[in-house]
Each structure stands twice: as C-alpha cells, then as structure tokens.
Amino acid sequence: MSSPRRVAIVGAGPGGLTLTRHLYIKQIPFRFPARGGLFKERKAVARSEGEDMVVTDKDDHRYYEEIDSKAGDRPEVDRLQLRGILLDSLLTEAVEWAHSIRLVTKTTNDKVEITLEGSSGTLKETYGLVVGADGAWSKARPLVTQVKPHYSTISGLDLRIHDVDTRHPEVGKLIGRGMFLALFNAKELFAPRNGDNSIRVNWPAETGVDFCDEKMAKDLLLKELDGFAPNLKDLFVKAGSDIVARSMFMFPVDHTWKHTPGVTLLGDAAHLMTPFAGEGVNLAMIDALDLGEAVASTANHGNLDEAISEYEQKMFARSHRSMKETWDSLELMFVEDAPKTFVEKFKVTRALGGAPPAEENQW
C-alpha cells in the first residue's frame, strides 16, 4: 500500500497533536494546517527546576535530595500547558470537536471506517490510515489487538494545593521546586509542583469510597496517615476540595501485536503504563515523531505498511524498556523499606545514565 490519501488521527492529546504538527512540517498533503515552530513557546513553560527530587520517610527524614541548580536536559512541562501550545499552533479546523467517535471498523478493501456521532446525527468516514492516539480505552485498538488494559493493583486520590507560595509558603518550602516523595509501609505520598504554582498531592487509597464529602474524605486520609510527620499530614488539610479518585491500569510489559494494514497506535493506546517512571507523554511524542517519519518516507514512493510495521517494532522495543522501568519503580516504592531500596536503585540508575546532578545531598 502506498501513502494513503486520507489520514485520521484519533485523539487530541500530546501524542496526537505532535503527529499532526509533524505531518504538516514534513509537507505531507493532509488536512492539518499549522503555523511556525514552537521552540519559544516551549521554552516559556519548560521548568528545569522541575527535575529536583526529594525522597523522605513518614517522619520527613530525607533519604535523598537532588537540586538541579543548572538547566538540565529533562525539564518539566505541565501536560495541560503542552497540550495548549500544540493546540494553539493549529488552525481551528485542524481538530474536530463537534463529533465523538462511536466505532472504528475495517472495510473489505483494507480501508478503515470511523463512525462519528454529533448533534447533526451519525456520520461515517473512510480513511486509508487511522492512528489511534486516544489513550487507555482506545476505540481504534481492537483492530490491532484484543488485549485490554488490566488493573495495576494501585489506586490513588489526587488533591490540589493552589497558589501555594502565597497562601502556604511553608508547604512550598517543604515540597521544593520539583518532585516530593514520602515512602513508608508500602505507601507513597507523591507531591510534585506544577507550573501554575500549585502542588498535586497523591495518596494511594481505595477508590470505592464517596469522596464528594470533603470532610469525610480528609478525615479518612488523615486516619490512614496516622503516625506521619505533622507537616506531611498538613498537605491534605490545606488541599482544596477537588478530590479525584483514580484507578491505574496498564498493559503487560511485553505487549505487542501483529501489524494490521491501515491502522496503528501510539502513546497510551499502544503501551499504557503506570506513572512511576514519568515517561508516558515523552513516549507518546517520540512515537508521534517516528510515525510521522514513517508516513513521510512513503509520501511519493515506497510501501506504507512496511514503514508502519517498522515503526511499530521500534516503538515496541522502546516502550518495553520504559514499561519495565515503570513496573520496577512501582515494586520499589510499595515495599516496607521503600525509602532505602528506592534510593539505592535510583542512585544506580543515575550512575548508569550519565553525570551526577549539579548539587546532591544524601543522608
């Protein structure tokens, strides 16, 4: 099959939007118009200080503290800011918001049909290539694999502390500029700083409880945190009322599929994993760049199916490494002596990954 006449990218997350831009930059004649480069926009929201990391136990005894005093090579960009930059770079008609996807099916001639639903009724469109970039519960994925995400055994509660440096400067000082972890008794308190001067507080807990009642929810959390240092418990007291319960799903670490003509996947749709290595969005965007190159390489000649099959094999190898790293991190965090074992493993990973950070303290 040569390069298709029509391409549909299902999903407007960072991966799907990155692929959209890449196809335009490569001057592929698809219907995704965009404007110029985004380096300045990315630089404006990238936070090298987001690489900082603090690891403590329940008593706030610091097992590890990493302070990036220089601009590192892995700056943090908040997901919503990143998505906003990519959306703003596209003309309004590049993303279709008026319809939702009900079904993605194969036709008899190796084309893919998408059934859309909107206020004007049901619409069916046929494409030469459909890219599933629509996350954990992808509508396109059943065309390439029947494997479904399974429960990772981890659930969590997300809370937010807004305007932290102004309203709660002591919390801002505790958390620092990047990621804060408190590990104890197979539990993990995860509190990263965001670019909007907020702190996200995550705690593993059962999601079957009604968390619409803020007082009841926080009373339950504080009971679970009995024995923790007062300043750690205070994170939940000062968090806002927007409590979100999440169950974490994942694919098997070695998940693959046999190439199916006319359809492929990227990002979470292809390799859903828990967030304990922090690689989900990074992988989705790398997937998008590789897939864009595969499509571009066959724009005028060549076999698109072969190019996409090669992309998938490259993506499998890359994602399997990160999926294993994520699973290993999960197992290290949720054990009795988690601060000690996690820091030891992290130090080994740092040593293998290159030069040490600019400034580092260990106790």
pLDDT tens string 130-148: 999 999 999 999 999 999 9
Task: Sheet with 121-127: list strands edge to edge.
Answer: 99-106, 112-118, 121-127
Amino acid 312: pLDDT: 98
Give the Cα separation of 80 and 65 in Å (integer): 27
Burial class of residue 211 (count of CB atoms within 10 Å of its CB; 0-12, 13-18, 19+): buried
Contacts of 293 (CB under 8 A, 6+ apart): 22, 26, 311
pTM over 0.85: no
Element (H, E) at 180: strand 179-184
Look at residue 146 in the predicted model and tell me its pLDDT. Answer: 95
> In whole angstroms, what is the distance from residue 165 CA to residue 159 CA?
17
Structure tokens that stand for 181 in this block? 């972890």
pLDDT beneath 70: ranges in the chain: 1-5, 24, 27-50, 68-81, 89-98, 205-213, 349-363
What is the pairing mode between strands 199-204 and 129-132?
unpaired
pLDDT, position 32: 32
Residue 150, beta-bridge partner list? 250
Q: In the 8-state DSSP scheme, what is residue 34?
A: B
User: Given this model, what pLDDT does residue 5 score?
Assistant: 59
Q: What are the tokens at 6?
A: 């029509």
Q: Say if residues 20 and 9 touch (Cβ distance below 8 Å).
A: yes
| Residue 156 structure tokens | 């969590």
For residue 149, the model assigns a pLDDT of 95
